[in-house]
């Protein structure tokens, strides 16, 4: 919703590069700079009292394979952005 508002010209916003990479590349949006120490993390939590299910394990393996470095550029490339 925020990205759509920025695209419509409502005003500026702080958005992940992965969401606006294509807009930046084609000039629809302008990059005003980076915010220092703004790390993004993906967490996968599961109950420790139970064994990790095969589905969750497969999903985690998939994430590690698709995003080996965990960079915003990897996410942008994956979502076609």
Please tell me the predicted confidence (pLDDT) of residue 29.
92
C-alpha to C-alpha distances, 35 to 7, 49, 66, nearest whole angstrom: 20, 39, 26
Q: Cβ(74)–Cβ(66) under 8 Å? A: yes
pLDDT of residue 26: 93
User: Which single residue is written with the structure tokens 């942008």?
Assistant: 76
Per-residue model confidence (pLDDT) at position 21: 86
Residue 40 is predicted with a pLDDT of 64
pTM: 0.51
Q: Which tens digits make up the pLDDT trace of 49-61?
A: 677 788 888 988 8
Low-confidence ranges of the chain (pLDDT < 70): 38-42, 48-49, 80-81
Q: What whole-number distance in Å separates Cα of residue 15 and Cα of residue 34? A: 10
């Amino acid at each position: 919703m925020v990205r759509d508002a920025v695209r419509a010209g409502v005003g500026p916003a702080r958005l992940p590069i992965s969401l606006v990479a294509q807009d930046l590349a084609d000039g629809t949006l302008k990059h005003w700079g980076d915010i220092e120490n703004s790390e993004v993390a993906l967490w996968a939590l599961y109950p420790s009292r139970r064994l990790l299910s095969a589905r969750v394990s497969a999903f985690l393996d998939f994430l590690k394979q698709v995003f080996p470095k965990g960079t915003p550029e990897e996410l942008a490339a994956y979502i076609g952005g």
